[in-house]
Amino acid sequence: MQIETFQFGAVNFIEDNILKFKSGLFGFEELKNFLLIKPDDDNIFYWLYSVEKPEIGFPLIGLNVVYENFPPEEKCTAFGIVTMNQDPLKVTVNSKAPVYINQDEKTGFQKIIEDDKYDVHYNLFVE
């Protein structure tokens, strides 16, 4: 199987690579199947691409990179959706609604954390 992505061009994958999001993402509830792509080891960003609509893709960052004790979910890695900006100081990550991914079971879900220390637009970089 193959999808055409903006960042990586054609991406080949097999059924087993697909992450199932039962409830989709907030704002994209209709999208249930995603691919998680890690460009290379030096890169802090991952990319989450919709299999159904490959024109929809998000940069993600592991939230443990930013927060020391980010609320865990069993067997999952917590990622935040990144909003890019031409000005790196305006690049933000959504830590209020993390995307949890279970790589073993190939599942994912997004949830909202009721704690004011997490922010929908948390600045990712500082000088």
What minimum distance in Å lies between the beta carbon of 77 and another protein? Answer: 17
Binding test (CB under 8 A) with another protein, winner from 86, 104, 115, 116: 86
CA distances in angstroms from 110 to 52, 74, 102, 107, listed in the order given: 18, 14, 12, 11
Instruction: Indicate whether 30 belongs to the interface with another protein (CB under 8 A).
Output: no
Q: Which of 67, 60, 53 is nearest to 100 (CA)?
A: 60
The interface region with another protein, picked from 12-20, 34-42, 100-108, 117-125 by CB under 8 A, is 117-125
Among 15, 68, 74, 115, binds another protein (CB under 8 A): 68
SS (H, E, C) 46-74: EEEEECCCCCCEEEEEEHHHCCCCCCCCC
Closest CA to 19 of 100, 114, 119: 100
Nearer to another protein, 15 or 114 (CB): 114
**Binding residues for another protein (CB under 8 A):** 6, 23, 25-28, 44-45, 56-59, 65-68, 81-89, 91, 94-97, 111-112, 117, 120-127
